[in-house]
A and B are shown apart, each in its own frame.
Chain A
Amino acid sequence: MEQLFTVGEPIQDAKAPAGPLQDQWEARRFGAKLINPANRRKLSVIMVGTGLAGASAAATLGEAGYHVKSFCYQDSPRRAHSIAAQGGINAAKNYRNDGDSIRRLFYDTVKGGDYRSRESNVYRLAEVSSSIIDQCVAQGVPFARDYGGLLDTRSFGGVQVSRTFYARGQTGQQLLLGAYQALERQVNAGTVEVNTRHEMLELIVINGKARGVVVRDLVSGTLETHLADAVVLATGGYSNVYYLSTNAMGCNTSATWRAHRKGALFANPCFTQIHPTCIPVSGEHQSKLTLMSESLRNDGRIWVPVKAGDTRAPGDIPAAERDYYLERQYPAFGNLVPRDVASRAAKNQCDSGHGVGPGGRGVYLDLADAIARLGRDAIEEKYGNLLDMYQKITDEDPYRVPMRIYPAVHYTMGGLWVDYDLESSIPGLFVIGEANYSDHGANRLGASALMQGLADGYFILPNTINDYLAKNPVAAADSSHPEAVKALDTVRGRLERFLSINGSRTVDSFHKELGAIVWEYCGMERNAEGLEHAVGLIRALKEEFWTDVKVTGVNEELNQTLERAGRVGDFFELAELMCIDALHRAESCGSHFRTESQTDDGEALRDDAEFAYVAAWEFTGEDSPPRLRKENLEYHNVELAQRSYK
């Protein structure tokens, strides 16, 4: 096979301050140049995306006095997909007096990420976690409370302390509404302008600095260029490369991928999280998958029939003929093992014929014992909305019949590479939330995505972007600048190309086929042979896409097919890079399980001597192989160990 990638110079400096971990963030903030409040209103920042990271950052920068231009593809900033996060948000408050601390949250996150994240960033995340809870409570986020009026917490997958704050099963919704309200408050104050139903299709780089974006008004089709002093991407993850995922239908990689093509390094694209507790696929028509919060694993017990191919109804299978396989294999953590471990265990049970439900791709998550112990009301109070949702989708009553669950793609740890300041390799382009790769290594722990999104948006970016803005004054530029014109022409050319193909297959049919390839070869288990095969399949399908896709209508109208075509076009390119990344990383770590690299009892086997680095990929051209730039990871505060949840 041809050479799939080349190796370039390692990344020398991630800009983390020297000194002990616990002093770094303070040192960085003190070292950052500040901007006089009177001068801030002369500076503008483009914020793409209005999820937890984007809304919180836009609100906070607006409060500071900057002029913020915010964009989202939805019809309201409140609908960004953070809204669907269910389980909770971690914070090292130690309200439970159960041994939690900043250091333990840091340690759990590094360990949970299987030692593929940067110590300095993760420590800072743990450090600001408590302030997030304070901020959200002040905004009116109705977290769960106990009868004394204090905040309730629960424990969540992969940890042994109770540090997860929650708002029933819809924590993401409540946190996002808090950030959305803060954002709208700034709209009212005149510091933030929100452009809804606008999608970013290109990044504008002038003299090596990110200066603006090309967006399409999704109602009229008008292409617009917007320029500013800095650009922030808060555009979420790329799970929809798999077609079927728990992401919203519109979630896409276009903003991050376009930035990648303009020079931003893309880090660890193969680190994608498969969530263990989703509702299984019911048929060919399926358009998306629905998550059931893993908080259910606190009270639900996961089992399959001992006998392979057992088709009896779950209630007819006596206790002795049930295999509570997580409790059996991992007695210390039981049903609360991290997501990657739980997902692969479910896959193994189904592969060996013990799966339940249609096609045998499911395992039981059984609440019966918890209902007997705590009563139906207590379970309803904790999980009511989730269980209602399950019933609507499956037509089965989870209070009486064990739920059926199966893993599904849920979150992407990979994303644009950023330094300690959350700045990408393009000066002036900052990346926050799921869109960056920074804090979760090879596997994210439950309830840490909300924490990271809000940490980046409320507390970290607003304390680093000022340093960039203070040190990098730029000449004013408008949409007549040659780079802006060029970027607009690129976008127009691409849209016209889609509309002129007039082939025979729908955009969705290509997307489904692409997703099936990525799921099969770059999903829960990967190996060299499969990944090489996948690269070939993806390239062939991409060629077919660009010659046979059918996009109806014109650009100058509300055209949802055209929107999807652009997103799928970018997914093709990303899918190939994911497979190359997965292929080059010949170790197993976290979510990335290479069948060639496992322990005797089938657990992921890391290779720290070879792979203790971040794989940041450089775009080198349409038909030229990507270049690997390594950021070596050094651990001075945790000892690298083989993860064990036994």
Chain B
Amino acid sequence: MNITVRIWRQHDRAAAGRMVSYGVDGISPDMSFLEMLDVLNDQLTAVGDDPVAFDHDCREGICGMCSLVINGIAHGPEALTTTCQLYMRHFNDGDTIDVEPWRSQAFPILRDLVVDRSAMDRIIQAGGYISAPTGSAPDAAATLVPKKDADRAFDAAVCIGCGACIAACPNGSGMLFTGAKANHLGVLPQGQTERHERALAMVNQHDAEGFGGCTQIGECTAVCPVGIPLDMISFLNADVLSALPRKQD
């Protein structure tokens, strides 16, 4: 396959950026999208140009590092698929493909397609955990967890923290990411004690980072590579509401 990619190039946080077109020839349909970018980077290096900077690591869809908006869609056209698991067989010979970074006020661009997502870590720091100091744990079998709760927690816990939900949201909201963590910990018996305060602390941090509010548009869940459902946000909102009156005590 021969394709054209139009890629966002930006030298650093302060520089202006622009879309630049490159032809990439001899692409195999069995290549991953990132392997296609590897080929492009080899071409650029050969002629002494700076290769395109992009984030990636595990290349098996679990680490959450890869982060490209492909043809206007975070992680590209395939549902439930991270950028690194997207294969060129989903494109056609002669296609022109637009490749852009995550765009959101809370994600400054560091170079080309690489953005700073540390705001998401700070949401977790604010409360996205169960306080369980090492060594203090009771026997693992001491508390039964109904299978449906364990499954629900798991369905939330699979969030890979990539930030696609935020990149896709017209409001730049991080509520799906935050809601997933509130659900994961909030449905387990171990997470009950801190449940409402956890939700409130995370949402406060979310707002302080400059993420927008949720207006239930649903773009987030549509692009989520692991299918985190929209009702995670309702759960989060309910927990936040439960926390508010207590705060006034």
Contacts and interface: CB of A to CB of B under 8 A. Distances in A.
A506 B145 contact: no
Interface in A77-106: 77-79, 81, 83-84, 93, 95
A84 B59 CA distance: 10
Interface stretch (B92-100, B115-123, B229-237, B241-249): B115-123
B16 interface: no
Interface stretch (A133-141, A297-305, A340-348, A568-576): A133-141
A552 B50 contact: yes
B204 interface: no
B121 A393 contact: no
B153 to A, nearest CB: 4
Contact of A458 (B51, B114, B134, B160): B134
A138 B59 contact: no
A311 interface: no
A74 B124 CA distance: 17
A87 to B, nearest CB: 13
A506 B80 CA distance: 34
Contacts of B45: 506, 550, 552, 561
Contact of B59 (A95, A136, A187, A248): A248
A interface bracket (residues with beta carbon within 8 Å of B): 35 or more
B150 A142 contact: yes
B interface bracket (residues with beta carbon within 8 Å of A): 35 or more
Interface in B138-160: 138-141, 143-147, 150, 153-154, 157-158, 160
Q: Say whether chain B's binding surface is mostly helix, strand, loop, or mixed.
A: loop
Interface stretch (B1-9, B165-173, B183-191, B215-223): B183-191
B61 A249 contact: no
Nearest to A168: B154
Interface stretch (A281-289, A401-409, A533-541, A637-645): A281-289
A249 B44 CA distance: 20
A285 B28 contact: yes
Most chain A CB atoms below 10 A, which of B78, B144, B150? B150
B19 interface: no
A81 B58 contact: yes
Nearest to B146: A149
B212 interface: no
B184 A140 contact: yes
Interface string B36-54: 0011001011101111010
Given A79-B65, A560-B53, A506 B46 contact: yes
Contact of A392 (B39, B57, B81, B129): B81
Interface in A43-62: 56, 59-60
Contacts of A173: 62, 158, 160
B181 to A, nearest CB: 8
A557 interface: yes
Contacts of A130: 140
A225 to B, nearest CB: 23
B20 interface: no
A145 B145 contact: yes
Contacts of A230: none
A333 interface: no
Contacts of A76: 64, 117-118, 120-121, 161
Contacts of B143: 137
B130 A142 contact: no
B185 A140 contact: yes
Contacts of B135: 131, 135, 458-459
6 contacts: A63-B133, A139-B130, A181-B124, A392-B61, A392-B85, A552-B50
Given A138-B190, A142-B154, A188-B125, 11 more contacts: A76-B64, A78-B161, A140-B185, A140-B188, A143-B140, A174-B154, A180-B124, A283-B30, A458-B134, A458-B135, A558-B110
Closest 9 CB pairs of A and B: A149-B144, A181-B129, A138-B137, A138-B132, A134-B137, A558-B111, A142-B154, A137-B140, A248-B57
Interface of A: 56, 59-60, 63, 74-79, 81, 83-84, 93, 95, 130-131, 133-140, 142-151, 167-168, 170, 173-174, 177, 180-182, 184-185, 187-188, 194, 196, 219, 246, 248-250, 282-283, 285-288, 290-291, 385, 388-389, 392-393, 395, 458-459, 462, 506, 508-509, 550, 552-553, 557-558, 560-561
